[in-house]
Amino acid sequence: MTATVGLISDRLRSAILTGDLEPGEYATQMSLAERLGVSRTPLREALRMLELEGLVLRESNGRFRISPLSIQTVVDLAVMRINVEALAVSLTVPRFGNADHARLEGCLAQIDRYAAVDDWVGLEAPHREFHQMIVSGAGERVTTLLAQLWDHASRYRSIAFQRAADSHEVWEITRTEHRGIVDAFEAYDAAAAAGWIVTQVARTALVVAERIDPTHPVTRVHDLVERFTGSPDLFRTDS
């Protein structure tokens, strides 16, 4: 029974994260049950779980709505992720040994290989592994929250990679940041590692914010970049 609920919520989650269920789309329990080919009782429980994760909104008339993409959520997610990633990375740096550093290098090499052949889908696995590894010393509570925030942010990440021409340009910057993170880990420099991850989360959020609504204030993000790297406007796209 609980296994069923878990399976259904996984399917529902991935349908939302991949955009199969579109942002802002309305759905009833019955239409979802039909679409996913599942019975309604476990679906109800699964919907409650996704509601807690913020992926689904319960409407007053018993209908559901797939959470729309919003500029507020982009900023909200960025603020949370910047703070918690910086913490988690700082906690992980001193715990890593040679084998862990070698694994990080391995992830980067895999990522490079996938990028070289434009396999952005294949790239996801080593990319995710890399990001999971660099926070793995923070403890289960922290990593669970980060995994949730990562899932949520992945709905937005695709916006940053909308056009193929952007992919390579954006990817080169991402690559530099990954390199910076690994260098900092290998030098046991927690502050630098935190600065790099903050840079990456903030930059991605700012690109997405720019695409969704260029007029929306993003000072909260810049303030955090300054707090963690010493300079507020390191990543202003217009400079």
Partner 1 sequence: MTSTQSNRNGRGRGSVAELRDRLRQAIVSGEIPASATPTQAELAAALGVSRTPLREVLRMLEQENLIIREPNGRFRAAGLSADEIEQLGILRITLEAAAVRITVPELTNADHAALEGMLAEAVRLAEMGEWDGFEDAHQRFHSLLTREAGPMHTEQLGRLWEQETRYRRAFERVGDDEGRVAANMQEHRALLDAAEARDAEAAAWLLAQHHARAVREIGQHLDPDHSMQRLEVTLAIESGRQHTDLRAVPRPNPEKAE
- Positions in the binding site for partner 1 (CB under 8 A): 52, 54, 72-73, 75-77, 79-80, 83-84, 86-87, 90-91, 138-142, 145, 152, 169, 172-173, 175-177, 179-180, 183-184, 189-192, 194-196, 220, 223-224, 227-231
In the complex with partner 1, the residue whose CB is nearer, 13 or 152, is 152
CB of 52 vs partner 1, minimal distance in Å? 8
Q: Which is nearer to partner 1, 9 or 229 (CB)?
A: 229
Q: How far is the CB of 2 from partner 1 (least distance, A)?
A: 11
State the residue for tokens 């056009």.
163
From the list 128, 98, 231, 117, the residue with the least C-alpha distance to 168 is 117
Nearer to partner 1, 43 or 184 (CB): 184
Q: How far is the CB of 20 from partner 1 (least distance, A)?
A: 22
Rounded Cα distance between 26 and 22, Å, is 9
The smaller minimum CB distance to partner 1, of residues 38 and 64, is found at 64
C-alpha closest to that of 66 among 78, 50, 49, 83: 50
SS3 for 65?
strand
What 3-state DSSP class applies to 58? strand
**Residues 38, 39, 45, 48: what is their CA dihedral angle, to the nearest 10 degrees?**
60
Q: Exposure of 3 by Cβ count < 10 A (0-12 exposed, 13-18 middle, 19+ buried)? A: exposed
* Least CB distance to partner 1 at residue 33 (A): 27
Would you say 34 or 183 has its CB closer to partner 1? 183
Of the two residues 17 and 87, which places its CB atom closer to partner 1 in the complex?
87
Instruction: Report the nearest approach of partner 1 to the CB of residue 175 (Å).
Output: 7
Q: What is the DSSP letter of 126?
A: H
- Residue 81: how many other CB atoms lie within 10 Å: 25
Smallest separation (angstroms) from partner 1 to the CB of 172: 5
Helix, strand, coil abundance in the chain, percent, nearest 5: 75, 5, 25
